[in-house]
Structure 1
Amino acid sequence: MSGYERVEELNIMKVIAETLNRCNDLTVMLQTVLEKLLQLTKLEAGWIFLVDDQPEYQLAAYHGLPPALSWGNQKPMCSGDCYCLSRYRNGKLNEPVNIIECKRLNDAIEKSWGETYGITHHATIPLGDGADSFGLLNVASPRKEKFSEEELTLLQSLGYQIGTAIRRTRLYQEEQRRAENYEKLNELMGTLWSASELTELAKLLVEEGQKIFQWSYANFYIREEETFVLIASESEEDVGSPSTFGTSEHSAILTEKIELSRDGSSGKLPIIRHQQVLGVVVIRAPLQNPFRESDKEMLEALARHLSLVYESIALQEKRQELLLHEERKRLARDLHDSVNQKLFSLSLTAKGAKEIVGKYDASLGELMDDMWLMSQQSLKEMRSLIWQLRPVGLEEGLLSALKKYADHLDLRVHFDVERLPDWPRQIEETLWRIGQEAMNNVSKHANVKEVNIRIDETKQGVGMQVSDEGDGFSDKQSNGKQTLGLTSMRERVDLLQGDFSIRSAHGRGTNVEIFLPYKKERERDQS
């Protein structure tokens, strides 16, 4: 190589290096450097394939392609296989080579795709930075069948420059993408932390996440026993439907790890509490913008935040329970210390007055006797109310609490229960409160001293039946003095989306039945 040729080669490399350093957009950089390279080397045509995922490849840049290769928006260059790509995938193309037989050019001639402008051969140069390979650079000119060793050496140096620039640009773009992801994540989390219940959290995630990240869709599933049920969606799936995950997908989710599809089109985020997977969010990446490894870091952060918000919602529910617990204690204490004591004093006063005035005025004595009876009844009802307002004392079990309350009402209770599982506190408290109210009605209105309680559990939930063989009542009476108690029971059942029914008739007793649905795994994890 002459001194002039060496200077010319160094100048080409200098210009290419300057061109590569002017831009941080990979697509623009590759197109610009390809055009500059062809201009400096006096070659006519060139194209660059980027090969990231086998066997897929991308036509990243092209210039000077003949009509036979550029028709249909460069269709011959965007599909199919060829000799250079096959050798590259097999790890056999590590040096610049002359391609004698180009399948794409041969197909163009055989199938009469158009004019090739005399291009029959090309050189192929691997693009890499010494550690990784990124694709291939191909250059050609009309009637040029072979590139000299000096030309291939120069092209190899340029390929190394381009490969190094690809690595740098991708790192820069990944950092930019990472920064944008965390900025968007911060915006999304500001919205998600406002959720006060699980369904609200799910709805906010799928709606706001789609707006902020431009996801194609997001589905929020909650685990119920051995499947996942959709509770919020921006796709065409029906809310309430079970997931379509396969067994292998389930096992992947239950490993508590983020899972991205092979093509990056979707990701699955497990929601974890107390080291158990309670739910999963399935996110479809934006069109033409699949998830990358840098996105996985953001998705992991999102999954952690979702788990924290979930935990916060559960703690808030516990806090509300404690507040209600304390308020009930306060009301029970206040009623006991004030109204209850006054009623007791009134009862004693009425009894004493009856003893005194009854000797002198019989009619007035009868009035005092009525006053004493009314005060005794009011005192009994007040004590019953105080008992109901006390915090639920279920430490010894539901049956023990119901038995103690029946004893308080002077009722004999007969239980029909095979077993009492470890139900969630909300379920157990509802059974307790409804049992209380039903026994109150028996004590006040049934005119009997016995009550029957049946409790059973199914896969769908738990049922309770409270029955007596007392006076019963008609539909018209149910709209009268018992309305408040019945309304209270119905409201408690409705809070848990359960079923409530009551059957009664004169002389045939009353039968109260409830059913409270719940999924064992989900409720137990939340309790």
Structure 2
Amino acid sequence: MYEEQTLRYKDLLILKTIAETLNRNHDMRLMLQSTLEKLLELTGLKTGWIFLADDEPIYHHAADHNLPAALARNDKEPLRGEACFCLRLYWRDSLNQAVNIIECERLHDTATQSLGDMNNLTHHATVPLTICGERFGLLNVGSPGKEHFSDEELALLEGVAYQIGTAVERTRLLEQKEKLAVDNIARYIVDYYNSTNEVTRHIWTINNLRELLLTVVLNIGTYFEWPTVAIAVHQGNRLMLRALYDNENARILNESRLHLEEGTSDIIHQAYREQSVCQSRGTPFAFAALQSSQNMYSIAIPLQKQQPLLENEPFGVLLIGRELSTFSELEIKILTTLADHISLAMERIRLYDEWQDLLLSEERNRLALDLHDSVNQKLFSLSLTAQGIKELLRDENPLVADGIGDIQKLSQETLSEMRTLIWQLRPYSAEKGMLVSLKEYASKIGIHVTLQMKDDVQFTEKVEKTLWRIGQEAINNVSKHARTNRATITIKSIEDQIQMSIIDHGCGFVLEQAETKLATLGISSMSERAAQVNGRLKINSTEGKGTIVTVMVPRLREN
């Protein structure tokens, strides 16, 4: 899985870099040339060329890089001659995805006629260039000795071709705007693509989901001058309204309550359920924050996780509302392209977070091993040495023996705390589950835990890991400060919340007099962990009666 995530993350970085390269040029030839060179550099492929094609038999050679001498001869005449097998497939509508070209006529004829050095280039991959379902050319890439491209490589090339198609269409429209006296509709289309480009340009540098959602709704609302933009994301078993732009203000939300009669649905849930673009006007929304926008012309566009060679996985909806009219077919095509960019950016952030978690887990494991192999062993040796010296000096010098005894006691306490720390550094085991893991941890540090779960509560992976870390810290506090070896952990559902409580009947403390003590109990770290899953932490303690640590997090239900 680690290698798969690494390869997927690398592919996303390539797509990000290609997008940045495409955005640097508005001249068609310069854009295609620089993008082809960057693609070959990032993938390690050696040569490539691009054809732009009209109706048969019209085509022209638009860009190339690092051609073999035989193809580069006579001002690249082999690329400007008669049509080849690739182009004939293209004109017959038989080339709809990236493919391996086994017998390329240009390569074969040039090699067999001994017209120059082909540098062992015998095969290439061909990818159709399309935008909104319309084809306009071919991308060909290859390397000396490479006879086959894997499905993953072809899927990546299709993603790059899709980006090139969007950029070429945008550039064509810009060229039309500069060279022709276009009418108002054409100008509006150009502005649409410009606004789309501005939105996508901002999102590729963001590595935080909240910031991404806020930036997307703000930029769409600002650049397109639309009054309402929202994003709903599927979490757990329901859609959550996570970001909203209205009244010229963007904000992050976490709204999940439905405000419709049972059995009814709004266009947001309809678009997610049917995985199709939906439009409406005057129909109510399921989210209270959108009620003021229900009289607008609204469009809901699914957001999908892009999975090469597999069916795309839905994970959210982009909603846009305006006052003037329904959205045209052309607008829907452009907005669907924009939604694909947003989906890709969200997936990149998800993979980035997983990458960070993997790195953190590796570092925790490394640190735990280092502590166990070095500090832990030395503390154990120190304790044994102190015990031996104390026994030797017990009769000869009792005062020194008592001092050595204090050293031994301190080293044993430190050793115990070190073992607790090493246990805390161990990664969370999702296979065992949170409650079993907490009970095991408590047992290791001498605390007997009673578990009580009153409902069949389902957690997301992130919430479960967060509750595990908070429970771990709370149990550790019981061991260190409560003067008891017993605790109770309860988990239950309260309306739209999940509540976990860690209860002890130890010595307790007076909250008003314990600001310094709270700092030593790790309260701030527990509160920060709760906030990361939109939860909150509460401490109740009574001197002589014990302490209750309560954490509340949102509960996710079915739509």
Specify the TM-score bucket, using the shorter chain as the normaliser.
0.5 to 0.7
Give the equivalent residue in structure 2 for 1:301.
337
Distance 1:265 1:497 in 2: 32
Report if aligned partners of 2:229, 2:319 keep a CA contact under 8 Å in 1: yes
Q: Is the 8 A contact 1:502 1:513 kept in 2?
A: yes
Partner of 2:285: none
Deviates most, 425-434 or 216-225: 216-225
- Whether contact under 8 Å (2:272, 2:316) holds in the other structure is no
State the match for 1:254 in structure 2. Answer: 273
User: Residue type of the partner of 2:276?
Assistant: K
**Cα displacement (A) at 1:387:** 0.8
1:282 has 2:282 as partner: no
Q: 1:415 aligns with which of 451, 459, 474?
A: 451
Give the Cα–Cα distance (whole angstroms) in 1 for the partners of residues 471 and 272 of structure 2: 41
For 2:302, the aligned partner's letter is P
**Aligned partner (choices 343, 348, 354) of residue 379 of structure 2:** 343
Corresponding residue of 1:234: 246
Distance 1:479 1:184, change over 3 A: closer
Aligned to 1:427: 463
Deviation at 1:341, TM superposition (A): 1.8
Uncovered stretches (5+) of structure 1, i.e. residues with no partner: 1-168, 523-527
- Secondary structure at the counterpart of residue 502 of structure 1: strand
Structure 2: how far apart are the matches of 1:409 and 1:418? 26
2:200 is the counterpart of 1:189:
yes
Q: 1:491 to 1:292 in 2, by over 3 A?
A: closer
Structure 2 vs 1, CA of residues 214 and 437 (structure 1 numbering), >3 Å: closer, same or farther? closer
Q: Could you list the per-position Cα deviations for residues 458-506 of structure 1 after superposition, in whole angstroms to 9, with x for gaps in the alignment? A: 4523211111222222336633455322423233223333222222223
Instruction: Mark the CA change 1:442 to 1:362 in structure 2 (over 3 Å): closer, same or farther.
Output: same
Q: Does the CA-based 8 Å contact 1:222-1:231 persist in structure 2? A: no
Instruction: Give the Cα separation in 2 of the matches to 1:472 and 1:248.
Output: 51
Deviations 1:62-81 (A, max 9, x none): xxxxxxxxxxxxxxxxxxxx
Q: Distance in 2 between matches of 1:313 and 1:320?
A: 10
Q: Give the 3 Å change call, closer, same or farther, for CA 227–400 of structure 1 in structure 2.
A: closer
Task: Decide which moves more: 351-360 or 245-254.
Answer: 245-254
- SS of 1:391's partner is coil
**Aligned residue type for 1:198:** L
Q: C-alpha deviations, 1:392-429, integer Å up to 9, x for none? A: 12321112211211211122211111355441122112
**2:212 paired with 1:201:** yes
Task: Give me the whole-angstrom Cα distance separating, in 1, the residues matched to 2:265 and 2:349.
Answer: 30
Tell me what 2:98 maps to: none
Cα distance in 2 for partners of 1:228, 1:443 equals 39
* More deviation, 366-375/482-491: 482-491
Q: Aligned partners of 2:242, 2:373: CA distance in 1, in Å?
A: 51
Paired residue for 1:267? 299
Which deviates further from its counterpart, 294-303 or 479-488?
479-488
Aligned to 2:223: 212
Instruction: Name the CA distance, whole Å, in 2 between partners of 1:228 and 1:375.
Output: 52
In the alignment of these two chains, the number of paired residues is: 353
Letter in 2 for 1:401: S
1:451 to 487, 493, 496: 487
1:280 Cα deviation after fit: 2.4
Which AA in structure 2 matches 1:272?
Q
1:228–1:243: 8 Å Cα contact kept in structure 2?
no
Does the aligned pair in 1 maintain the 2:452–2:490 contact within 8 Å?
yes
TM-score, structure 2 as length reference: 0.56
Report the equivalent of 1:333. 369
Paired position in structure 2 for 1:509: 546
Closer/same/farther in 2, CA of residues 392 and 223 from structure 1, 3 Å limit: closer
Amino acid at match of 2:275: E
Percent identity, please: 35
SS of the equivalent of 1:359 reads coil
- The answer to whether the Cα contact below 8 Å between 2:302 and 2:317 also exists between their aligned partners in 1 is yes
Contact conserved, 2:217 with 2:243, CA < 8 A, in 1?
Answer: no
Find the aligned partners of 2:259 and 2:517 in 1 and give their Cα distance.
51
Query: For residue 374 of structure 1, what is the amino acid of its counterpart?
Result: L
- Residue equivalent to 2:527: 490
Alpha-carbon distance between aligned partners in 1 of 2:350 and 2:558, rounded to the nearest angstrom: 15
Q: Tell me which structure has the larger Cα radius of gyration.
A: 1
Which amino acid in 1 is paired with 2:214? Answer: K
In structure 2, distance between residues paired with 1:305 and 1:232: 18
The aligned residue for residue 357 of structure 1 is 393
Matches of 1:459 and 1:244, distance apart in 2: 16
Q: What's the offset of the Cα at 1:455?
A: 1.2
The CA distance in 2 between the partners of 1:521 and 1:316, in whole Å, is 28
Deviations for 1:126-151, whole angstroms, at most 9, x for unmatched residues? xxxxxxxxxxxxxxxxxxxxxxxxxx
Does the CA-based 8 Å contact 2:221-2:245 persist in structure 1? no
Aligned-pair CA distance for 1:227: 5.9
Q: Classify the secondary structure of the residue corresponding to 1:247.
A: coil
Task: Note the C-alpha offset of 1:338.
Answer: 2.1
List aligned pairs for 1:49-198, cutoff 5 A. Answer: 181-198=192-209
Amino acid corresponding to residue 257 of structure 1 in structure 2? S
Counterpart amino acid of residue 241 in structure 2: V
Residues 285, 291 of structure 1: 8 Å contact kept: no
1:312 positional shift = 1.5
Pairwise CA distance, 1:363: 0.6
- Tell me how far apart the structure 2 counterparts of residues 227 and 184 of structure 1 sit (CA, whole Å): 27
Q: CA deviation at 1:316?
A: 1.7
Deviation at 1:299? Answer: 1.3
In 2, are the aligned partners of 1:472 and 1:509 still within 8 Å (CA)? yes
- Tell me the C-alpha RMSD between the 2 structures: 3.4
Name the residue aligned to 1:80.
none
Change (3 A) 1:475 1:243: closer
> Structure 2: which amino acid aligns with 1:348?
L
Distance 2:221 2:540 in 1: 50
Residue 219 of structure 1 aligns with an amino acid whose one-letter code is A
3-state SS in 2 of match to 1:503: strand
- Alignment TM-score, normalising by the size of structure 1: 0.59
